[in-house]
Amino acid sequence: MQDTKVIPPGIELIEAPSVWEQGYTGDGIVIAVLDTGCDSDHYELTDQIIGGYNFTTDDNRDTSVFEDYNGHGTHVCGTICAAENDAGVIGVAPKAKVLVIKVLTGQGFGDTRWITEGVRYATKWRGEKGERVRVISMSLGGREDSPELHEAVKEAIRQDILVICAAGNEGDGDDATDEYAYPGAYPEVVQVGSVNLQEEISKFSNTNCKIDLVAPGEEILSTYLNNEFAVLSGTSMAAPHISGAAALLIEQSEKEFERPLSEPELYAQLIKRTVTLNYSRRFQGNGILKLATGLKVAKENEQISTTK
């Protein structure tokens, strides 16, 4: 990994390099990114895109054009899987592939129906070599609890797809008040809150009893439009850290177990690698993802419990 000029601080914080050193980079894992599309000409991402579909009104509803006119989706994709090369940045899972599902317009807004259809599309999608989506990443949310969207999410999970969602940015810094954004607030998904690079809970991060874990979401460096890079903040930036990490864990765990893992098993592998911070569960869920430290602590705790 010496060739890449910058490993973004958030990716260092979740300890992704420790997994790369073991030979796992998310190779062959497909992550569906439901967002504003992706800049398909960005040199960090052009080889990472396995396919795409546009559900929005952009480009006269041409379903084959999933270009990003906002920057948000491109930033998310970069955190997940920006390529390992001698320039720019590197993503959490640099050998993973993204299926770009455009459900938000260039203005950053979308219809809940588009998101529902996007989840269904990701669930049913098959690649030319029989690839299928293993992770759905959604850095989006709204206040509307849609039964149709909820059902689509549940169907994806029944197909053993890990559904990872941003918690939302309506937080007030007070864990006594709940803030919910959907689909993040559905109990079946992995709801991701945000911390800054000092591992302090972001004031904007939604708090509720369904938060699963937290990841870096402030001052996150990643890819942007026109072959550029940008620093953005939000739970939108925290979720793709977890989506990329999930690709690493799928590759690593399925080699170890020599079989495909179910969605509950994948979730368990993810949560096993969290470290509790000094906050209430409504802020952090199980804690911050630390791919090496979390696993070490979990193994130490297992040894303690088995020797009792």
Whether 47 is catalytic is no
Residue 215, phi then psi, degrees to nearest 5? -150, 165
Catalytic, out of 42, 58, 72, 241: 72
Cβ–Cβ < 8 Å for 25, 94: yes
Q: Which of 137, 194, 236, 253 is catalytic?
A: 236
- Closest Cα to residue 249, out of 217, 214, 273? 273
42: annotated active-site residue? no
Catalytic residue among 35, 68, 175, 212: 35
Closest CA to 82 of 52, 49, 44, 50: 44
DSSP alpha helices (H): ranges in the chain?
Answer: 9-13, 16-20, 72-81, 112-124, 147-158, 235-257, 263-271, 281-284, 293-307
| 75 belongs to the catalytic site | no
Spatial strand order in the sheet of 30-35 = 49-54, 97-102, 30-35, 133-138, 162-166, 190-195, 213-216, 288-289, 274-275
Could you tell me which residues come within 8 angstroms of residue 27 by beta carbon, excluding any fewer than 6 positions away? 95, 96, 251
CA-CA-CA-CA torsion sign (241, 135, 32, 210): negative
- Cα–Cα dist 103/47, whole Å: 22
C-alpha angle 105/106/112, rounded to 5°? 20
The end-to-end CA distance of the chain, in Å, is: 42
Among all residues, which ones are annotated catalytic? Answer: 35, 72, 236
